[in-house]
Chains A and B, each alone.
Chain A
Amino acid sequence: MEEEKIKKVSIICSKGSLEGVYPALILANGARMEGIEASIFFTFFGLDAITKKRMGNIKVSTVGNPGMHIPTVVGSIPGMSAMATAMMKKTIAGIDIPPIDEFIEMIHEAGGKLYGCKASVDMFKLTKDDFCEQVEKILTVGEFYEMSAGAQIIFT
């Protein structure tokens, strides 16, 4: 029996770190490249990726991140996260992956939809105006499930 192809994905982006945001963006953009319908629901600190004031300043976490292979005490030295972020951004640019703001624009132009989570927006006392113009709408969790009908839901 041939497996049915994925037609639609709903990606939840819940983290505001560089390593938290990129997977969601790559999954969404990659879905569009394959002709798969894609939307991203930004929640909690994930909202930083679409918040105008913050999206240009997303950092790698150097503390409590075993993948960084540096001891937490070293990772907590002031400037470590900025340094690691600068290094990682350079590597990312080197393999032709766009910076976050450009990536969001690309996904939008490719027909991917971007949404903010209402509970988080209220919690952080934000409004629609705080988000980049590519953000379609602020959704309640109920609306998120509604628009995810028939989709695979991916939590990042």
Chain B
Amino acid sequence: MPTATFGNHQVEVNDEGFLTDPTQWNKEIADAIAKEVNIPELTPKHWELIDYLRKYYTEKNDMPSIRFLKKNGIIPIKDLYSLFPDGPLKKASKIAGLPKPYSCV
């Protein structure tokens, strides 16, 4: 299993750079991954979604779909795409230390 170092933290990642163990995640790691995926700074708006995804994953051991996020008033689709451009849910999940979403919609 490859590892990646973010600041002082060494974590296990898969070959696409997603953390394989969400419990190894912390906020510094999130900041570092965000920079890697071209989001220079995580704003409170970013954190709102990251925290929500982590909570959802902890409870359901699964990732929500973009449609679910919209329908449940978590985040409008437009905001999601402007906060996390170029593959929003994938990027947000990566920053949140969660697995890559596995869904076609």
Contacts and interface: CB of A to CB of B under 8 A. Distances in A.
Nearest to A105: B77
Given A96-B67, A98-B67, A33 B89 contact: yes
Given A33-B87, A33-B88, A96-B65, A106 B70 contact: yes
A109 B105 contact: no
A30 B76 CA distance: 17
B105 to A, nearest CB: 5
Contact of A34 (B68, B70, B90): B90
Contact of A30 (B77, B78, B86, B104): B104
Nearest to A97: B105
Chain A, interface residues (CB within 8 Å), range: 10 to 19
Contacts of A32: 81
29 contacts: A26-B104, A29-B105, A30-B105, A32-B81, A33-B66, A33-B87, A33-B88, A33-B90, A33-B105, A34-B87, A34-B90, A35-B86, A35-B87, A35-B88, A96-B67, A96-B105, A97-B105, A98-B67, A98-B105, A106-B67, A106-B70, A106-B77, A109-B70, A109-B76, A109-B77, A109-B78, A109-B81, A110-B78, A111-B81
